[in-house]
Amino acid sequence: MTTAASTETGERKLDTINLTINGREIMAKKGVTVLEAALGADIYIPTLCYDPDLKPYGGCRLCVVEIEGMRGLVSSCTTPATDGMVVHTDTPRVNQSRRITMELISANHHGDCLACAKNQDCELLKIARYLGIEQDRVERLRKGTQVLSVDDSHPAFIRDLNKCILCAKCVRACHEIACVDAIDIAFRGNSARIATFGDKPIVESICKSCGECVMRCPTGALVPKWEKPPAEEVKTICPYCGVGCSLYLGVLDNKIVSVRGDSEGPANKGSLCVKGRWGYDFLSHPERLTTPLIRLPGVARQAGHNGKVHEIFREASWDEALELAAKRLLELKQDYGPDSIAALSSAKCTNEDNYVMQKFVRVVLGSNNIDHCARLCHASTVVGGIAAFGQGAMTNAYSDFEKTGLFFVIGSNTTECHPIIGSMIKRRVRFGGAKLIVADPRSIELSDFATVRLSHKPGTDVALLNGLMHVIIRDGLENKEFIRERTEGFEELRQLVERYTPEVVEAITGVSKADIEAAARLFGEAKSACILYGMGITQHTTGTDNVKSVANLLLLTGNIGREGTGFSPLRGQNNVQGACDMGALPNVYPGYQRVDDRAVRMKFETAWGCKLNDRPGMTVTEIANAILGGDIKGLYVMGENPVLSEPNLEHFRQALEKVELLVVQDIFLSETAWLADVVFPAAAFAEKNGTFTNTERRVQRIRQALMPPGEAKADWEIISALAEKMGKPFDYQTASQIMEEAASLTPIYGGIHFDRLDNGGLQWPCPDTSHPGTSFLYQDGFARGRGKFHAADYFPPAESISKKYPLVLTTGRVLEHWHTGTMSRRANVLNELYPNGVVEMSPIDAARLGFIEGDLVVVTSKRGRVEAPLHITEKSPPGVIFMSFHWREAAANILTNDALDPLAKIPEYKVSAVNAVRRRKKLR
């Protein structure tokens, strides 16, 4: 230890250099540039093209300095600082050069500072003042440049190239951070300007609207359309996907007026995507619920609303609405028993909301009938992960990706569904030398970055993964030591995959033998590999087998429990990990402690002071049949919209029309809330305190930035009030009190305390308050002891194409929208960028069927029909059509199959047999 420590200090000394700037001795880290060394010592050097997140560019020539021993003026942003260097940043020669440069830059900058949206924080203006630039000298240098028309095609920002000074920060951010490359410098000389491909308006380009360019523009060339200077900024977490990006909401007059990424956010390091940056105006949308609502007597529940709110509901006081809900719930409990009521918790809500909700169901209602949408996205991950490793969470952290040599992305359209992780992968491939295998039936953005691309048929994942393992074992690329020391069940797997020769797998999956061999070798030979997957793996009747096969491949090659390796199920919702952790599941209490384990149950009975039900409850996907069968009489829904998110919607809608009591709490009158008897108005993420747990198990604080609209309350407050009305008060005053109780009962959250979450949160397991959290799991052993191989045979999807239904429908999300659109379709920018759902079809199928772009097509399956305009794209392979499920007018889930995975009870959203015909009436 002593030796190690002394070497470390020795290295630390070697890591720093000493240089003199303006006569001052400066210490700097080795490898920094002269500019960074100066900035680090609070010595100002003007610059327009430097950005700490981007590579040195040396474009603006303002940062020139004199360095003794070097000829001429050198740009400090591209010159590495070296030991003993003597630098002068403020000499007459330097300043004269900077002034001339600045005058030339200013002469090409056209615009009226008075009317410019950037005049408060224009870098150009700041530097012009610092250098003392004179207006008339600039005017003399001006050349009659052509006035370019302003590009205001984008709903979120304006591009005024007349104000552009060609620092290329936008081009570099697009290339180096977002890896989208929508823009570059084009044309020459005086005409040189930033252009999209073909110099078209930005909205017609491949721009993904992440806004990394807008945030970095030093002038008014790129400015947000709606932003205002905030009165205060509140640090919180993005409420959209499971990446868990940290951001600052700027608040003025109880409205969000600006958003910026938190450069210290452990997940995003300042980056945001289109939703995270522009998607918050739903918070102040006029349709927000502001008072409790009660269904008018005699108004029948009818799915697919088209009436007016006041024709169906009347406004009520909190007291009256709570009283009514409490009375009806107690009646049902008394008449039909506690198991006759089910509740859906929400992966959009905080850990605290979820904890209180599951406690309400278990303590007040007296059943375990609590579940949430994790059932529909990652139930198979939890089941498969527990079987293989003992736990179902992502085993690694994003920071680990920096050390990953090979990414294997299967069934995840990462750049659309987890955009910030998508960019991380692209950056690692583009700049870090990492390799990438992409397996997806569709051609996704990541496919263009892939070393090997496998386009397998939907639902053939087990066969594909078995095929890869076949080649790895055949070629002796498996990690024999890891298999021997840390796993069990290898022999069964070996025997099974022996049958999956490349020939067999090619016949099943449609992937060529050569590609299977290439991918297998790449994976088998990788020093560190991780597998990222999403709904493409989980949402199948073989979902659990798919997950187990992913686990098999990792165990086989020893790519788990080490830095840079891991099992990475990408969780969809902002807090789906947390909702599971908090026990919003029918079979476990918080921390995955089983309800049928007597010791566990006794612990919770003591803590909660009541007898608890020992029967595991009902899953989301079983509720519809239970309602229709008469077993479930009452349904309580918090912040979910099953009327659009369930598979085989017609069936589910029938059930909801039949249920005796439906209580919904939400921020909007969602399609589900329209059917409710009582609706409670809830506070949104920016209107309450609490925590979200992201997909890398990081528990992060969300903070109240706004007052809730009207009488809306935080979800946990609503449930607590209802519990009190039902005679079992919970007595929580703040969200942090709830987390304290949850942490005391949940070993993996033992050390989670609001006070510890201010700087980047903590990754569970975090057993006590001195524990720093756990970045990656299973370093020393698996949660279940040894990692277990599960030999899984290939079974085809529940539904296969037929003469009547000759196409495969696969569903998913698009970048601009979120789930059932309750939030994103009420965000102006997102809605304008992607206003309606489409059916995506390959050019080959379209030509065969005689369809043209924009045709209104009717898609039918055994379960129903949906109409939407056609979009012809090479993203879809022949024989496969794609629809996203955000749209109530074209609800893809009317078509999807509610066949379940037998173990995880997850439905097969990803494969449905459908037919598509053109409707005569043409759209637009």
Site residues for other proteins per CB under 8 A: 175, 181-188, 195-199, 205-206
List Cα–Cα distances, 850 to 341, 808, 847, 869, 872, in angstroms.
51, 18, 5, 14, 12
Q: Find the shortest distance in angstroms from Cβ 854 to other proteins.
A: 15
Helix, strand, coil tally for the chain in percent (to 5): 35, 20, 45
Residues in the chain: 924
Q: Find the shortest distance in angstroms from Cβ 46 to other proteins.
A: 27
Q: Find the shortest distance in angstroms from Cβ 886 to other proteins.
A: 28
Q: Find the shortest distance in angstroms from Cβ 197 to other proteins.
A: 4
Burial 70-105 (b: 16+ CB within 10 A, else e): eeebbbbbbbebeeebebebeeeebbebbbebbbeb
For other proteins, which is the closer residue by CB, 195 or 880?
195
Structure-block tokens of residue 236: 């919180």
For other proteins, which is the closer residue by CB, 796 or 854?
854
List Cα–Cα distances, 190 to 108, 194, 468, 762, in angstroms.
9, 12, 55, 52
The residue to which tokens 């870098």 are assigned: 123
Q: Find the shortest distance in angstroms from Cβ 192 to other proteins.
A: 8
Contact 496, 549 (CB under 8 A): no
For other proteins, which is the closer residue by CB, 175 or 875?
175
Q: Find the shortest distance in angstroms from Cβ 202 to other proteins.
A: 11
For other proteins, which is the closer residue by CB, 450 or 667?
450
Structure-block tokens of residue 524: 């088998």
For other proteins, which is the closer residue by CB, 17 or 179?
179
Q: Find the shortest distance in angstroms from Cβ 178 to other proteins.
A: 12
Stated as kind and residue range, the H or E segment containing 578 is helix 576-581
Q: How far apart are CA 648 and CA 652, in angstroms?
A: 7
What is the C-alpha end-to-end distance of the chain, expressed in Å?
A: 74
In a 3-state reduction of DSSP, which class is residue 312? helix
For other proteins, which is the closer residue by CB, 186 or 518?
186
Contact 531, 410 (CB under 8 A): yes
Amino acid at 295: R
φ, ψ at 620 (rounded to 5°): -50, -45
In a 3-state reduction of DSSP, which class is residue 421? helix
Contact 524, 452 (CB under 8 A): no
Q: Find the shortest distance in angstroms from Cβ 341 to other proteins.
A: 56
Residues 6+ apart with CB under 8 A from 742: 351, 352, 355, 582, 590, 749, 752
For other proteins, which is the closer residue by CB, 199 or 287?
199
Residues 6+ apart with CB under 8 A from 296: 311, 312, 313, 314
Is the torsion defined by CA of 914, 915, 921, 923 positive or negative?
Answer: positive
Q: Find the shortest distance in angstroms from Cβ 404 to other proteins.
A: 21
Q: Find the shortest distance in angstroms from Cβ 536 to other proteins.
A: 24
For other proteins, which is the closer residue by CB, 195 or 638?
195
Structure-block tokens of residue 677: 């008897």
Q: Find the shortest distance in angstroms from Cβ 278 to other proteins.
A: 22
Structure-block tokens of residue 224: 């947000």
List Cα–Cα distances, 134 to 49, 103, 128, 330, 840, in angstroms.
22, 8, 8, 78, 57
Q: Find the shortest distance in angstroms from Cβ 196 to other proteins.
A: 6
Residues 6+ apart with CB under 8 A from 902: 541, 544
In a 3-state reduction of DSSP, which class is residue 267? coil
Q: Find the shortest distance in angstroms from Cβ 209 to other proteins.
A: 16
Q: Find the shortest distance in angstroms from Cβ 164 to other proteins.
A: 14
Select from 559, 393, 533 the least CA-distant residue to 461. Answer: 533
For other proteins, which is the closer residue by CB, 7 or 191?
191
For other proteins, which is the closer residue by CB, 60 or 182?
182
For other proteins, which is the closer residue by CB, 182 or 259?
182
For other proteins, which is the closer residue by CB, 181 or 832?
181
CA dihedral 536, 542, 543, 544 (to 10 degrees): -150
For other proteins, which is the closer residue by CB, 245 or 446?
446
For other proteins, which is the closer residue by CB, 185 or 387?
185
For other proteins, which is the closer residue by CB, 173 or 667?
173
Q: Find the shortest distance in angstroms from Cβ 205 to other proteins.
A: 8
- Looking at the DSSP bridge assignments, the partners of residue 883 are 811
Q: Find the shortest distance in angstroms from Cβ 522 to other proteins.
A: 18
For other proteins, which is the closer residue by CB, 182 or 891?
182
For other proteins, which is the closer residue by CB, 118 or 175?
175
Q: Find the shortest distance in angstroms from Cβ 191 to other proteins.
A: 9
Select from 527, 517, 526, 528 the least CA-distant residue to 475. Answer: 517
Q: Find the shortest distance in angstroms from Cβ 407 to other proteins.
A: 18
Residues 6+ apart with CB under 8 A from 499: none
Q: How far apart are CA 432 and CA 424, in angstroms?
A: 10
SS (H, E, C) 451-496: CEEECCCCCCHHHHHHHHHHHHHHCCCCCHHHHHHHEECHHHHHHH
Number of neighbours of residue 782 by Cβ within 10 angstroms: 20
Stated as kind and residue range, the H or E segment containing 859 is strand 856-861
For other proteins, which is the closer residue by CB, 186 or 386?
186
Could you write out the DSSP letters of every residue in 132-156?
A: T--HHHHHHH---PPPPPPB--SSS
